[in-house]
Amino acid sequence: MLKRGQKYLQVALNSNLFEAQKIIAQLPHDRRILLEAGTPLIKSEGINVVRYLKSARGGKGYIVADLKTADLADWEVKMASQAGASAVVCLGVAPIETIDLFITECQKHHLDSMVDMMNVKTPSAVLEKLKVPPTVVILHRGVDEESFNKEKELPYYEIGIIKNNFDILIAVAGGDEFTEVQRAILNDADIVVVWKSFFISEEGTGQLAEQFLKEIR
C-alpha cells in the first residue's frame, strides 16, 4: 500500500509487452517506482499483462491497473485483483454509484483505489459526493487535450483544496518534462505519472528514471 509522506514516480507502460519488459529491466529497484499497466497495454494484451509486469519485478512490484472503470466496478476490480494488481483506476466522470462501488470493492480486495479526474472540471466537487474518499485522486491532462489544446493546464490549484478537505494522495499525469515534474512536486503532488519517455525502450531509459527520481525527493 502507498505511504503518506512518500513521493512516487509512476511509470505508465502503454506500448506493448515486449517494450514493457525491456523498460522494466532497465528501471532501478526503488520502492518509489510504481509500474502502471496503461489502458492501451491492457486493451492489447488483456488483464493478464498485470501479472506479467509483476513477475518482471520479481513478484514484488507495485502495479497499477489503469482500467479507467466506468461501469461494472465490482467485476473490474475483481479482475484486477486476481491478476495481482496493487491499485486500480476508475474514471471521475463515471456515475457516483459506480465510483462508490469501486472504492468499496478496492477496500474489500485490499487494493488502493485511484480516481482519474480527466475532463472533470472540479474534482473536489466529485469527492464531496462520495461516501468514502479514494486512496488517490489523479489530476490528468489527456494526450489529445495536450495535442489540440496547448493552453489547457493541469489544475494544480485543486491540490491544496483537496488536501485541505480530504485525506487523499494526489497524482499528477500529463507532463513528462523535468520542469513539469518539478512543478507537480512543488505543488505538493505525491505521485508523478510519466509515460512519453517510457513508451519505447532506449539505451538511457534507466538513467532517465533515476533523474526523475532525484526530482521527486
C-alpha span between 110 and 121 (Å, rounded): 30
Count up the domains in the chain and report the number: 1
| 68 within domain boundaries | yes
C-alpha span between 155 and 161 (Å, rounded): 11
Find all residues with CB under 8 Å of 107, minimum gap 6, and list them.
Answer: 113, 132
| 160 within domain boundaries | yes
| 213 within domain boundaries | no
| 212 within domain boundaries | no
Structure pTM?
Answer: 0.94
Phi, psi of 127 (to 5 degrees): -60, -35
Q: How confident is the model over 116-174, as pLDDT tens digits?
A: 999 999 999 999 999 999 999 999 887 767 667 666 677 888 999 999 999 999 999 97
| 38 within domain boundaries | yes
Map grid coordinates 507495485 to a residue.
62
**CATH code, domain with 63:** 3.20.20.70
Domain residues for the domain of 196 are 8-201
Q: Shortest CA distance to 80 belongs to which of 70, 66, 93?
A: 66
